[in-house]
Amino acid sequence: MPLAQVNDIKLHYEIEGDGPPLLLVTGTGYPGVTWQTGVSEAFANEGFTIITYDHRGVGQSDKPDVAYSTRMFAGDAIGLLDTLGIDQCHVLGHSMGGRVTQWMALDHPKRVKSMVLAASGPGEFDPNFKVTRGIPLQAAEAMIIKGYEKFIRENIAGPFLFTAGFARNNPGVVQKLADAFWDNHPPLKFYLRHVIARQQHQTAERLGEIQTPTLIIVGDDDKTTGGTGNHLRQSEYLAKQIPNTELVVIPGVAHGFFWEKPEETNRAIIKFLRKHN
């Protein structure tokens, strides 16, 4: 189990493939192993060195019981690159991972060669768009009623991540992802610390400072209003505010397009990464 000393903690990481380095950054509470459900292998097969890791509080990484933030997670990611001796790399962040990636580009612009913001957002960006700056009531109620594991499994199988037809016709894909999460799930307190970090994220006012070549990719049905809100709308905002940006909208999918339409998703990402190698 490779562990890297990063700042005051140890982070668990894995490396596969050979070629230009690509760091994959997971979403809220997700362990790094969830990338190893067809995603990291696909990029490794395209000639990239893939680095996956567990955020603090998750999987096999240390779990300091302190307040977390997306900016803190970004510092951890840069610290991991330091330990691995990687001066610059491509970074792909999904959901909350995309929020972490924004901070990497803002705080350490020379370290991020290009970035992919997959189904991500900037925090509050419109007077009529308010983000709950804590644990969303709907999520808290569902978790209390259902219990932690059922809440997670239903969230992965439900319409937020996958369209109903895909979930019904591909139960093996859904279960593999759910098992990868749950077999390495963070303790409940630390999952909630991740939720709070996601909900407190705010970069909307600083997006124009980002000079990193950026691909924004999102599903056209990623419109759930819970949590941080409609990711399609947020991705469109990111594309307008960040210079040197490309926007790709994958048709017929919600938040989990890496697993629902892997060929179309990977083709768009690989094309972008090769352009900026």
Domain regions of the chain by residue span? 3-275
CA atoms 68, 69, 74, 75: torsion sign: negative
Residue 9 tokens read as 């903690």
**Protein fold of 3-275:** Rossmann fold (3.40.50)
Report in angstroms the alpha-carbon separations of 44 from 16, 217, 220, 226, 231: 7, 20, 27, 34, 27
Q: Are 66 and 190 in contact (CB under 8 A)?
A: no
Q: Are 138 and 226 in contact (CB under 8 A)?
A: yes
Q: What is the pLDDT of residue 103?
A: 98
| pTM exceeds 0.85, yes or no | yes
Q: What is the pLDDT of residue 7?
A: 85
* Rounded CA separation 194/15 (Å): 24
**Exposed / middle / buried, residue 127 (Cβ in 10 Å: 0-12, 13-18, 19+):** exposed
Across the 277 residues of the chain, what is the mean pLDDT of every consecutive 10-residue run? 92 97 98 97 97 98 98 98 97 98 98 98 90 92 96 95 95 97 97 98 98 98 89 97 97 97 98 96
Cα radius of gyration (the chain): 17
In three-state secondary structure terms, 217 is: strand
CA atoms 80, 86, 91, 92: torsion sign: negative
Beta-strand pair 3-6/9-16: antiparallel
Q: What is the pLDDT of residue 62?
A: 98
In three-state secondary structure terms, 196 is: helix
Q: Are 230 and 131 in contact (CB under 8 A)?
A: no
Q: What is the pLDDT of residue 130?
A: 85
* Rounded CA separation 203/16 (Å): 32
* Rounded CA separation 102/115 (Å): 8
Angle at 147 between CA 144 and CA 153, to 5 degrees: 125
